[in-house]
């Protein structure tokens, strides 16, 4: 959660909240992480997942479970966001659950499930979804829109990063 998201949720001014967060970091209650540090940790976790297929399966199942709750809620509350989008790429798309739910609800959309080749080896084939293997740090396939599901643990970690 970013500082702005937190201040909005708490209905407080972001400036004093920033000072409070800095104190909590100084007291080592929270750990401040830059986006680069967070991405480095992410890559370490992915390396572990590649070396341990059971762990990779657990990650995919967790993300699919989350998608089955979140995607229908997003579609129900703001389907108009997807109007006019013909192609959408899900970066780090895992087994493709998010895109499958999205293209079922939006038949005009063609999806690109983009993830590491090892991860895509368990992705189901689906009409209007192309599974593309690659590394998001090298390049991302071209599309009208991009989905990035930011997986962050908030337990004793403060990440102040505004994405896109």
* DSSP string computed for 119-132: HHTTPPPBTTEEEE
Cα radius of gyration (the chain) = 18
Cβ neighbours of 30 (radius 10 Å): 18
> Are 67 and 123 contacting, i.e. CB atoms less than 8 angstroms apart?
no
The residue whose two tokens read 């991405």 is: 39
pTM: 0.65
How many alpha carbons fall within 13 Å on the CB side of residue 122?
Answer: 16
* Structure token digits, residue 127: 């009409």
DSSP label of 94:
T
What's the whole-number mean pLDDT along residues 73-91?
A: 92
Tell me: the pLDDT tens digits for 134-160?
A: 988 788 899 999 998 755 443 333 333
Q: What is the CATH number of domain 46-152?
A: 3.40.50.150
> Are 115 and 88 contacting, i.e. CB atoms less than 8 angstroms apart?
no
The distance from CA 101 to its chain's CA centroid, rounded to whole angstroms, is 16
The residue whose two tokens read 């493709």 is: 96
> pLDDT above 70 covers what percent of the chain?
84
Q: Which tops the pLDDT comparison, 107 or 42?
A: 107
Mean pLDDT across the chain:
81
- The residues that bridge with 112 in the sheet, in sequence order, are 89, 130
Q: Which tops the pLDDT comparison, 49 or 79?
A: 79
């Amino acid at each position: 959660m970013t500082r702005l998201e937190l201040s909005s949720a708490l209905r407080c001014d972001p400036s004093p909240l920033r000072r409070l967060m800095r104190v909590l970091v100084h007291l080592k209650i929270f750990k401040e992480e830059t986006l680069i540090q967070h991405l480095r940790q992410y890559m370490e976790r992915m390396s572990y997942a590649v070396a341990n297929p059971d762990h990779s399966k657990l990650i995919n199942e967790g993300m699919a479970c989350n998608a089955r709750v979140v995607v229908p809620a997003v579609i129900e509350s703001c389907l108009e966001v997807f109007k006019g989008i013909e192609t959408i790429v899900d970066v780090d798309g895992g087994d493709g659950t998010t895109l499958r739910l999205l293209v079922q609800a939006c038949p005009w959309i063609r999806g690109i499930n983009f993830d590491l080749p090892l991860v895509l080896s368990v992705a189901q084939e689906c009409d209007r979804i192309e599974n593309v293997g690659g590394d998001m740090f090298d390049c991302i396939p071209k599309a009208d829109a991009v989905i990035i599901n930011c997986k962050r643990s908030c337990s004793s970690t403060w990440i102040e990063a505004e994405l896109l």
